[in-house]
Structure 1
Amino acid sequence: MSRQYRLATERDADELLSLTLRAYEPIRKLGINFAAATADKELVLNNIQKNACYVLEEDGRILATISLRMPWGPNPGPYGVPHIWWFAVDPDTGKKGTGSEMLEWLENTVLRDTLKAPFVSLGTADKHPWLIGMYERKGYVRAGEKDLGKGHITIYLKKQLQN
């Protein structure tokens, strides 16, 4: 089993769309309006082209994806630092820590060691039953909230990466 992290390319769009729609099925069932939950190929391609969209691949199969919206990009996060946006793990992988592994790689290798980001932000829905708690257990702290007109309040969290 050979695992590698890499930036997604347009050739990955179909596989990323399939993975994302399967991973976000519980979000759709909760009625939470996340863009990724109802993605189409055009949105996937836009994400690949305009953001830093990373994948975790094992033996040629994408297991997970996570994207960063950059402060200088078309849709920056609220704090002037990279903002974690599109995070999905193939539900067929089971609960093996794949998502945690990918998030830790992004935080340490990309954000802290390569980009030298002082902290990272992300946003999630106040109505989601477990995401806020999960991120808090991973060292994120609440930093704000905003009604973006999506039918829920977006809770912003930040994680310090540099001392």
Structure 2
Amino acid sequence: MESSSARSDRDTQTSDHPNKPMAGGDDTATVGATGLTPLPATGALTFRAATPADVEALVGLVESAYRGDSSKQGWTTEADILGGRRTGADDVGACIDRPESVVLIAQRDGELLACAHIAIEDGAGYFGMFSVSPTLQGGGIGKALMAEAERVVRDEWQLPVMRMTVIDIRDELIAFYERRGYVRTGIKKPFPYGDARFGEPKRDDLRFEVLEKSL
């Protein structure tokens, strides 16, 4: 998926700001800052909204899932098509601080395992920065986090659609999202060649494609 700052062309919700705690919740308990709740089927896996204190750990997680040799332990790696950075503290911090935007964290016993960014954009939910620790990929953590992200967008923000952008040659990744109910829209967006914030391309045919799912 694209860099956290590579969003698709850049109120109705239960809280007046998605980063504010809901009734009965707080930023450190099992129920997080957007009313996030653990999925019973995943046992000790819980969800919360990230805070500025999480930025450094989130950058490390995202980089480990997509860049360098460590990312090759998992199947989401982009190391063969992109070098350089995947995200940075500035990008992640902006996602946390931005209105109508939340970085979701999946954790177990306080350990950061996965993250995703959701936001309200153009009347739909936006899903990005989806990262699972490489050694834990394939174990259901990502699916559980995606389900929680969709729940927040559908039930709390009252939005009918979730959208994302994916590099269109990532066939295995696109197939994963298709199995989760996302469809290819055929809408293509150019890859920002020359902008180091999005990494260092190793090929000249990269583009983003918009995927969406009715919630």
Superposition TM-score, scaled by structure 1 size? 0.82
For residues 16 and 104 of structure 1, what CA distance do their matches in structure 2 show? 20
* Identity over aligned pairs, percent: 26
- Work out the number of aligned pairs and report it: 151
3-state DSSP of counterpart to 1:2:
coil
For residues 78 and 186 of structure 2, what CA distance do their matches in structure 1 show? 24
Deviations 1:4-47 (A, max 9, x none): 211100101111111111011254413248x9x52222222122
- What are the residue-to-residue correspondences of 1:4-153 with 2, within 5 Å? 4-25=46-67, 26=71, 27-32=77-82, 38-50=86-98, 51-71=101-121, 79-108=122-151, 110-150=152-192, 152-153=206-207
3-state DSSP of counterpart to 2:107:
strand
Greater shift in the superposed pair: 18-27 or 121-130: 18-27
RMSD: 2.1
For residues 174 and 116 of structure 2, what CA distance do their matches in structure 1 show? 17
For residues 181 and 82 of structure 2, what CA distance do their matches in structure 1 show? 24
For residues 175 and 78 of structure 2, what CA distance do their matches in structure 1 show? 20
For residues 126 and 164 of structure 2, what CA distance do their matches in structure 1 show? 5
Amino acid of the structure 1 residue aligned with 2:155: D
Contact 1:32 1:127 in 2 (8 A): no
For residues 63 and 114 of structure 1, what CA distance do their matches in structure 2 show? 24
Provide runs of 4+ in structure 1 moved above 6 Å.
none
Contact 1:125 1:154 in 2 (8 A): yes
In the alignment, what sits opposite 2:212? Answer: 158
More relative contact order, 1 or 2 (CA 8 Å, 6+ apart)? 2
Where structure 1 has 5 or more consecutive residues not aligned to the other structure, the ranges are 72-78
Deviations 1:40-60 (A, max 9, x none): 222221222223111011111
Superposition TM-score, scaled by structure 2 size? 0.64
Contact 1:47 1:53 in 2 (8 A): yes
| 155 and 94 in structure 1: CA distance in 2 versus 1, 3 angstrom threshold | closer
How far did residue 88 of structure 1 move?
0.4
